Amino acid sequence: MRYFNYLTREEEQSFFYSLPGQFSNESHKEQLAYAVGAALYMPATRRGIAEELAAGKHEGLVSMVMDLEDAVGDKQVEQAEEQLRETLQQISLFLAAGMLDGEQVPLIFVRVRSVDQLGRLLASIGEEARHLTGIVFPKFNIRTGIEYLRMLESYNRQKSEYAPVLYGMPILESAEVIYRESRLETLLGLSSLLKEYKEYILNVRIGATDFSSLFGLRRSPDNTIYDIGVIRDCIADIVNVFGRMDNHYVISGPVWEYFKSDRVFKPQLRQTPFEESMGRSGRLLRMSFINDYVDGLIREVAMDKENGMIGKTIIHPTHIKPVQAMYVVTHEEYMDALHIMENGGGELGVMKSRYSNKMNEFKPHMTWARRIMIRANIYGVLHENQNFTCLLAEERESAII
Stronger pLDDT, 124 or 399, i.e. the higher one: 124
**Among 263, 204, 211, which residue's Cα sits nearest to residue 233?**
211
The better pLDDT of the pair 72, 283 is held by 72
Tell me what pLDDT residue 71 has.
93
Is 203 a residue whose pLDDT tops 50?
yes
Maximal CA-CA distance, the chain: 66
Which of 139-148, 294-303, 366-375 shows the lowest mean pLDDT across its residues?
294-303
Helices (H) and strands (E) in the chain, counts: 17, 12
Of 189 and 387, the one with more pLDDT: 189
CA–CA distance, 376 with 223 (Å, rounded to integer): 29
Comparing 172-186, 224-238, 337-351, which segment has the lowest mean pLDDT? 337-351
Q: What is the pLDDT of residue 382?
A: 97
Q: Is the pLDDT score of 380 beyond 60?
A: yes
Cα gap 394→397, rounded to integer Å: 5
- Candidate CATH numbers 3.90.950.10, 3.30.9.100, 3.40.50.1820, 3.20.20.60; the one for domain 23-327: 3.20.20.60
Sequence-ordered list of residues with C-beta below 8 angstroms from that of 160, at least 6 positions apart, any chain:
none
Query: pLDDT at residue 332 above 70?
Result: yes
Nearest to 246 by CA among 198, 205, 202, 203: 198
Q: Which pLDDT score, from 0 to 100, does residue 398 have? A: 43
Average pLDDT over residues 150-176: 95
pTM: 0.90
326 band by pLDDT with thresholds 50, 70 and 90 = very high
CA–CA dist 204, 194 (Å, integer):
10
The span from the CA of 326 to the CA of 314, in Å, is 14
How high is the pLDDT of residue 258?
A: 83
Q: Which residues of the chain are in CATH 3.20.20.60 domains?
A: 23-327
Question: Residue 262 above 80 pLDDT?
Answer: no
14 pLDDT above the threshold of 70: yes
User: Closest Cα to residue 206, out of 225, 179, 193?
Assistant: 225
Q: pLDDT (tens digit, 9 = 90+) per residue, 22-65?
A: 999 999 999 999 999 999 999 999 999 999 999 999 999 999 99
Please report which helix (H) or strand (E) contains residue 29, including its range: helix 29-35
Task: Say if residue 243's pLDDT is above 50.
Answer: yes
Q: DSSP 3-state assignment of 346?
A: coil
pLDDT at 187: 98
The mean pLDDT of 316-329, rounded to a whole number, is 95
Our CA angle for 14, 31, 245, nearest 5°, is 110
The C-alpha torsion from 179 through 180 and 182 to 184, rounded to 10°, is 120
How wide is the angle at C-alpha 308 spanned by C-alphas 394 and 382, nearest 5°? 40
pLDDT at 377 over 70: yes
State whether residue 139 is helix, strand or coil. Answer: coil
- Type of residue at 13: Q
Q: Say how many C-beta atoms besides its own lie within 10 A of residue 272's C-beta.
A: 11
Report the alpha-carbon distance of residue 227 to residue 241 in Å, rounded.
Answer: 21
Q: Residue 265 — φ and ψ, nearest 5°?
A: -100, 175
Per-residue pLDDT averaged across 6-13, rounded?
A: 92
- Taking residues 277-293, report their average pLDDT: 55
Question: For 86-100, 160-174, 250-264, which range has the lowest pLDDT when averaged over its residues?
Answer: 250-264
DSSP secondary structure string, 256-310? E--SS----S---S-SHHHHHHHTHHHHHHHHHHHHHTHHHHHHHHHHHHHTTEE
363 or 293, which is more confident?
A: 363
- Check whether 400 has a pLDDT greater than 60: no
For 366-388, what is the mean pLDDT? 95
Q: What is the residue-averaged pLDDT of the chain?
A: 90
β-bridge partners, 171: 205
The answer, yes or no, to whether residue 300 has pLDDT greater than 90, is yes
CB atoms within 10 A of CB 354: 14
The CA distances from residue 297 to 6, 204, 210, 319, in Å, are: 22, 20, 19, 8
Whether 248 contacts 374, CB under 8 Å: no
Q: Please state the rounded mean pLDDT for residues 303-311.
A: 96
Query: What was the pLDDT predicted at 284?
Result: 53
In angstroms, the CA 25 to CA 23 distance is: 7
